Structure 1
Amino acid sequence: MEKAKNAEEYIAQQRQMIASNPDCGTSYYNLAVALIGMQKYDEAEKELVKALDCSPGLAEAFVQLGGLALRKGDLDACLDYNKRAVKAKPGFSEGHGNIGFVHLQRGEVDEAIQALQRATYFNFRFVQAFASLGSAYLMKGMIDESIENSMKALVLAPDFAVAHNNLAIAYLEKGDYEKAADHCGRAVQLGYAVAPEILKEIEKK
């Protein structure tokens, strides 16, 4: 219960700050993030809109709204909010990463690659974006590029299961069954649901 009490205290503080300075977008944003932490998503959405009314260039607020849209399964709104985020702050890697993620979900691989490359350009420690690039290149049949980006993800986070899964598939494509089995084993160990046909293929070899 201690945590909720702290979160509630924090929320109360943010509300006080808003009361004393109602034009501060950051206070609305901080309040919204705390509300998201407590799973009060509808309330959070209202505060994010207020944050942007006060500070239209608050890229982080657009990204949070994109995240809330994604929770509802609204990929169009998620994409739109993240595009507005990178318009407000062109070097905002998280926005580019989310744009890439949405394109990937829709099977728009070229657009995904473009956005994810931007994400990793602006943040060379963006594990999720490197792993997603690994997936995107795999979909395009660009195996070496897929391996390169999945490896970059693993340098940053050795236990990133998606990257291990992508490497298992990529090495399978290259006929390097030992490495494929290695990465497949790691992905399974880390709780990743490797596709049954991949497991079968590796066992066969």
Structure 2
Amino acid sequence: MVQYADNIDDHIAGLEEKLRKNDQCASSHYNLGVAYISKRRYEDAKTCFVRAAERSPTMAEAYVQLGGLAMNDGDIEACLRYNTAAVKARARFAVPHGNIGFCLLQMGDVEKAIKALRQAVKLDSQFVQAYGTLGSALFMAGEIDESIEMSSRAVELHPKFGPAWNNLALAYLEKGEPAKAKEFVARAQECNFEVHPGLIADIEAALKA
């Protein structure tokens, strides 16, 4: 964790001065990139993360940050490329595997997404977002019971993780248990997750059937 100075501008100035004296310090470039993100200086942040990766090719975190910035720009293919580079830099780092799974799922490659997400949760058994995304992917693949298992794991780890409650609602409606689905919709809404009106309507229709 970066230890910020009392004032983020002072922190940035300190790192910039440090890099003027030693431009080869990968961690300083990385930390400066993180600081720039906090100021919404995204292009400057990209430059820093590229320099960090150039100076320390095994710094997988720099590639992950570049992937996040690409996603922020709406470039999912670039996000996938950067996270793939992160895995090559450090194969046992769970985060890029999870991000790869998310990208592949958005791109419609469900089976490859599931494979990447399984690897993510294998490497980090506390990776809430990966369990949640894996629950979505398994639902899309028709693996309803395992989808419920993964989404349940996500909410065990983080009870306020709305997307996983929504996944559970979808799965239980699919299993023909609309009362449970309605309960999980309520849990998702309690977490400020915006449930699709169509799902609510389908649950109400199933309850009346």
Same fold (TM over 0.5): yes
Q: How many Å apart are 1:197 and its aligned residue? A: 2.1
Q: Helix, strand or coil: the match of 1:39? A: coil
Instruction: List per-residue Cα deviations over 1:41-78 (Å, max 9, x = no partner).
Output: 00111111111221111100000111111111111111
Q: Where does residue 47 of structure 1 map in the other structure?
A: 48
State the TM-score, normalizing by the size of structure 1: 0.95
- Describe how 1:110-149 pairs up with structure 2 within 5 A: 110-149=111-150
Instruction: List per-residue Cα deviations over 1:149-197 (Å, max 9, x = no partner).
Output: 0000001001110000000010111112221111011112222222222
Cα distance in structure 2, aligned partners of 1:82 and 1:43 = 20
Amino acid at match of 1:159: K
Q: Are 1:20 and 2:21 an aligned pair?
A: yes
Q: Where does residue 179 of structure 1 map in the other structure?
A: 180
Amino acid at match of 1:170: A
- Structure 2 regions of 5+ residues with no counterpart? none
Q: Are 1:203 and 2:204 an aligned pair?
A: yes
Q: Where does residue 83 of structure 1 map in the other structure?
A: 84
Cα distance in structure 2, aligned partners of 1:159 and 1:93 = 22
Cα distance in structure 2, aligned partners of 1:38 and 1:93 = 27
Q: Where does residue 69 of structure 1 map in the other structure?
A: 70
- Describe how 1:140-179 pairs up with structure 2 within 5 A: 140-179=141-180
Amino acid at match of 1:149: M
Cα distance in structure 1, aligned partners of 2:78 and 2:201 = 39
Q: How many Å apart are 1:21 and its aligned residue? A: 2.3
- Structure 1 regions of 5+ residues with no counterpart? none
The answer to whether the 8 Å contact 2:5/2:11 transfers is no
Cα distance in structure 2, aligned partners of 1:159 and 1:190 = 5
Cα distance in structure 2, aligned partners of 1:91 and 1:152 = 21
Amino acid at match of 2:156: V
Q: Where does residue 6 of structure 1 map in the other structure?
A: 7
The answer to whether the 8 Å contact 2:36/2:42 transfers is yes
- Describe how 1:97-112 pairs up with structure 2 within 5 A: 97-112=98-113
Instruction: List per-residue Cα deviations over 1:81-134 (Å, max 9, x = no partner).
Output: 000000000011111011001001111100110111111111111000000000
Q: How many residues align?
A: 203
Instruction: List per-residue Cα deviations over 1:9-56 (Å, max 9, x = no partner).
Output: 111121122223221101000000100111100011111111122111
CA RMSD across the alignment: 1.4
Identity of aligned residues (%): 47
State the TM-score, normalizing by the size of structure 2: 0.93
Cα distance in structure 2, aligned partners of 1:52 and 1:177 = 50
The answer to whether the 8 Å contact 2:98/2:120 transfers is yes
Deviates more, 1:36-45 or 1:188-197: 188-197
